[in-house]
């Protein structure tokens, strides 16, 4: 019989019993009276002709769960098994991957996590770690086992304004860390654009901001970490202390330990002044972005688009001196338009293309909704942005977030980037009527290259890597998961073809990992994983 919770369809012609009605699986669809036998709507032939895409991993079956749960409670850890507690974590920000843990543990301290992982190793129970849940491929979704919620460890432990460092628990969200730092007139260096990410989760994947072209990714700001290994050891590590572990955990996608505390570099707080330059050519905007990055001409830079019609190069500065230097030496070399000049350019463009007036109206509406959000009086004064943490969390989520966030990405070396973006843009045009692109550079530090071997940083990148996120605007429409996955695969195939990498290469896109990194690299890291995690329990559905 076919039962709810069973992933396999009934065999051909097998009777399928559902509440109130019973249907045999047949290939004919005769009219039937209510309550009589009819065709099975989930018959084995229902998906003929549809190419299946990578989907959820198989659910852990729960062997030994009761003994594990008893051992965890004996150790003094609260294990939540109620349906409501588990259902809170059924999906992630992507909204295309769904799974249920057997139980949830809210992290309180490193000792508790160490106990949990030791017992999990003993009973071979998978443990999935979750911070802000902003993954989009199911990386923070538990398909059985334990969901470890890190948000219970959200305290800032110490701010050193002389050494310019902060020690914080890793479950804290970046916007909360920014608020704490602001009270000491300090600020973070580089954080992800969406500040509802957790610190620990970000350090495990990289973290890209509009100041990454100058300062590197968020993970580069970590000076030391407290890590709980998969076997339950609590270890402090850095580039000089337990360096091998540090290099595996930074950009390690949660495979080699749970980050519980982090010491990060910080800086004195400054407001910033934004400049916007508008383009109708992606390639021209990318070339200008890379010109600024190569010459250290700005403190912040990135590209945000509305489709490929309105391409916005944003440039920002922390000091008047840096802004003045840009205006004197670089502004005239940029080929973008000012706001009003670009508006006139677009009027002329669509006057010659009246069949695209619907597209023009969409661009106008999007601008009218978005731009006031970036200039709200509570954090903008005298054209200075005093609270970019609000802008980069609330505004980003409001205008790019929804129930489903489908954000495939590409990361390449500088010389391949324009081609990668142009090819990805054509894929977006094929699959969705409206979309946005977010492009940014990442300054690489040669002394940190060991961290980058199997990560979002491409192996052939030199001084900079570049990344682009391709995000469809769902606009309230309903798309099948196969449509989304086909779109993502088309983007990821470009990365394979160009020898690039991805910011999100775990979860439902595990099938790309060997194609991107090659068997030698993957097998070497898999051997490290098996040695560090004998029962393969920690985030086991993410990479390997």
Instruction: Specify the pLDDT at position 94.
Output: 85
Confidence check: pLDDT of 388 > 90? no
Q: Within a domain: residue 469?
A: yes
**Has residue 248 got a pLDDT over 50?**
yes
Helix axes 357-370, 339-351, angle to 10 degrees: 160
Mean pLDDT lowest among 22-26, 167-171, 508-512: 22-26
Mean pLDDT of the chain: 85
* 3 state DSSP class of 17: strand
DSSP H or E run through 159: strand 156-160
Q: Kindly tell me the burial class for residue 408, based on how many C-beta atoms sit within 10 Å of its own C-beta (0-12, 13-18, 19 or more).
A: buried
Residue 61 lies in a domain: no
Given a contact cutoff of 8 angstroms between Cβ atoms, the answer to whether 249 and 257 are in contact is yes
Coil, strand or helix at 176: helix
The answer to whether residue 35 sits within a structural domain is: yes
Residue 26: the pLDDT is 38
pLDDT at 162 over 60: yes
Residue 319 is part of which domain span? 272-517
Strand-pair partners of 310: 306
- Give 200-236 pLDDT, tens digit per residue: 999 999 888 888 999 998 999 999 999 999 999 999 9
Nearest-10 crossing angle of helices 282-294, 417-431: 150
Least confident segment among 352-356, 364-368, 385-389, 493-497: 385-389
Q: Does residue 2 lie within any of the structural domains?
A: yes
Cβ neighbors of 147 (< 8 A, separation 6 or more) are: 86, 89, 101, 103, 104, 105, 128, 130
Q: Which of 49, 67, 85 is the last residue of a domain?
A: 49
Continuous segment of H or E residues that includes residue 212: helix 212-215
Query: What's the pLDDT at 84?
Result: 93
User: Could you identify the residue written with the tokens 């990148």?
Assistant: 461
Collapsing DSSP to helix, strand or coil, 289 comes out as helix
Q: Is residue 163 in some structural domain?
A: no
For residue 84, being part of any structural domain is answered with no
Tell me the pLDDT band of 256, cut-offs 50, 70 and 90.
very high
Query: Would you say 254 and 539 are in contact if contact means Cβ atoms under 8 Å apart?
Result: yes
Residue 136 lies in a domain: no
pLDDT in tens, 340-358: 888 888 888 888 888 888 8
Number of domains present in the structure of the chain = 2
**Residues 105-157: pLDDT tens digits?**
999 999 999 999 999 999 999 999 999 998 888 999 999 999 999 999 999 99
Mean pLDDT value across residues 448-475: 84
- State the pLDDT at residue 170: 97
Position 382 scores a pLDDT of 81
Asked if the structure places residue 536 within a domain, the reply is no
Q: Is the pLDDT of residue 2 over 60?
A: no
Rounded to two decimals, the pTM is 0.86
């Amino acid at each position: 019989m076919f039962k709810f919770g069973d992933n396999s369809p009934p065999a051909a012609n097998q009777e399928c019993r559902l509440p109130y009605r019973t249907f045999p699986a047949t290939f004919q669809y005769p009219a039937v009276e209510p309550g009589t036998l009819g065709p099975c709507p989930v018959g084995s032939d229902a998906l003929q002709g549809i190419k299946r895409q990578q989907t959820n991993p198989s659910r852990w079956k729960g062997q030994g769960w009761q003994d594990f749960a008893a051992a965890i409670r004996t150790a003094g850890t609260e294990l939540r098994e109620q349906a409501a507690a588990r259902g809170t974590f059924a999906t992630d920000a992507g909204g295309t991957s769904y799974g249920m843990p057997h139980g949830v543990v809210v992290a309180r301290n490193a000792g508790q996590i160490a106990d949990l992982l030791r017992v999990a190793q003993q009973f071979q129970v998978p443990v999935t770690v979750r911070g802000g849940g902003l993954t989009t491929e199911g990386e923070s979704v538990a398909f059985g086992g334990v969901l470890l919620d890190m948000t219970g460890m959200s305290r800032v432990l110490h701010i050193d304004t002389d050494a310019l460092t902060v020690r914080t628990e890793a479950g804290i969200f970046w916007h909360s860390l920014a608020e704490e730092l602001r009270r000491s007139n300090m600020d973070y260096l580089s954080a992800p654009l969406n500040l509802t990410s957790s610190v620990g989760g970000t350090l495990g994947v990289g973290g890209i901001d509009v100041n990454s072209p100058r300062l590197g990714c968020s993970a580069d700001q970590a000076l030391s970490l407290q890590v709980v290994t998969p076997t339950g050891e609590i270890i402090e590590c850095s580039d000089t202390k337990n360096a091998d572990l540090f290099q595996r955990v930074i950009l390690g996608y949660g495979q080699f330990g749970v980050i519980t505390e982090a010491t990060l570099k910080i800086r004195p707080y400054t407001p910033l002044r934004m400049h916007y330059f508008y383009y109708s050519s992606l390639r021209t905007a990318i070339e200008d972005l890379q010109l600024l990055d190569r010459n250290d001409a700005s403190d912040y830079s990135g590209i945000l688009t509305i489709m490929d019609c309105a391409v916005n190069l944003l440039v920002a500065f922390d000091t008047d001196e840096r802004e003045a230097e840009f205006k004197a030496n670089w502004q005239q070399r940029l080929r973008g338009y000012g706001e009003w000049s670009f508006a006139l350019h677009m009027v002329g463009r669509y006057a010659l293309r009246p069949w695209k007036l619907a597209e023009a109206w969409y661009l106008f509406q999007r601008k009218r909704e978005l731009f006031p959000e970036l200039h709200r009086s509570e954090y903008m004064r005298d054209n200075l942005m005093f609270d970019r943490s609000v802008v980069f969390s609330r505004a980003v989520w409001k205008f790019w977030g929804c129930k489903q966030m489908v954000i495939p990405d590409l990361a390449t070396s500088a010389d391949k980037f324009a081609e990668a973006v142009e090819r990805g843009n054509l894929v977006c045009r094929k699959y969705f009527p409206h979309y946005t692109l977010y492009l940014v550079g990442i300054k690489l530090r040669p002394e940190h290259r060991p961290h980058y071997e199997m990560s979002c940083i491409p192996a052939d990148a030199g001084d900079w890597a570049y990344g682009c996120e391709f995000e469809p605007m769902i606009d309230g429409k309903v798309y099948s998961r196969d449509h989304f996955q086909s779109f993502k695969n088309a983007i990821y195939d470009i990365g394979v073809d160009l020898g690039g990498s991805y910011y999100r290469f775990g979860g439902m896109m595990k099938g790309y990992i060997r194609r991107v990194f090659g068997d030698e690299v993957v097998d070497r890291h898999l051997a490290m994983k098996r040695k560090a995690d004998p029962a393969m329990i920690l985030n086991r559905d993410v990479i390997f």
